[in-house]
Structure 1
């Protein structure tokens, strides 16, 4: 059973990696590069600070905790504990892979990129009101592209990505729940309308 799962994992990885082109290589490297997204993260933080105003004093640290914990747990606990080689470091696979962006660290379970991006996206998806559903969909597409890029580049197996997304989503749910409880306790007189402090009757 386990060997069958591993075989499917390898097959999906090779399928994603083999469908490549010079243009697609550039796009996947772009989506996979963390530093490229720092300006976007800054814009998100500024917008959230503007919309939530005083409540941002609670929201932003919890959002940071969600992403920070996802990165710390995936990098410091899962990867050294399971010590699963990345596909690009696997001697049975590496020679046949298209490595458009090098290989990175030795171990790959689980994907920090997937954990971090889903921690951000799921947290915002749970916190933002329904009227921001277009933004939520765009953020989800971004997280999926980041995750897919890790398989395309031969850095992670699909199971690495799935496990990372699961970890990030669980941490996001936990921190979002902490935010909701804190908001209800410290700002009970305000509605959920973002950017406007409207007294409830």
Structure 2
């Protein structure tokens, strides 16, 4: 079953990569970073604060907690257990 998922993942990656749309390359590279999203998060927090005031703090902390738990769970429970490279980091297909 895992082999099937790996093959599907690789095939989908190669298909999307094979579409060869150079226009999207710099856009995808830009948005794959972490720091680029900070202005969006700050704008969202600002609008939430202007609409809801301090009542938005607890829901915002709840969302931050859930995102943190999901991220840590995915890394420590799945990523480190399966130790599978992403297709874009796989040396066998990296240059295709």
What is the TM-score when the length of structure 2 is the normalising length?
A: 0.80
For the residues of structure 1 that align with 2:30 and 2:91, how far apart are their CA atoms?
26
Change (3 A) 1:2 1:69: closer
User: Which of structures 1 and 2 has the larger relative contact order (alpha carbons within 8 angstroms, sep 6+)?
Assistant: 2
The within-5 A match list for 1:26-37 is 26-37=26-37
> 2:59 aligned with 1:44, yes or no?
no
Alignment gaps of 5+ in structure 2: none
CA distance in 2, matches of 1:76, 1:5: 20
Measured in 2, the distance between the counterparts of 1:25 and 1:80 equals 29
Q: For each residue in 1:124-162, what CA deviation from the matched residue of structure 2 results, as whole angstroms up to 9, or x when unmatched? A: xxxxxxxxxxxxxxxxxxxxxxxxxxxxxxxxxxxxxxx
Preserved CA contact (<8 Å) 2:87 2:93: yes
Shift of 1:69: 1.9
Quote the residue 2:23 is aligned against: 23
Unpaired runs of 5+ in structure 1? 97-201
Look up the SS of the partner of 2:23 in the other structure: helix
SS of the residue corresponding to residue 20 of structure 2 reads coil
- Post-superposition Cα deviations, 1:38-92, rounded to whole Å, max 9, x if no partner, equal 0110111111122222321311111211222222222333211111112133232
Aligned pairs, how many? 96
Query: Could you say which structure has the higher helix fraction?
Result: 2
SS at match of 1:50: helix
- Does residue 60 in structure 1 map to residue 56 in structure 2? no
Match of 1:70 in 2: 70
RMSD of Structure 2 on Structure 1 (CA): 2.0
Task: Give secondary structure in 2 for the equivalent of 1:92.
Answer: coil
Secondary structure of the corresponding residue to residue 94 of structure 1? coil
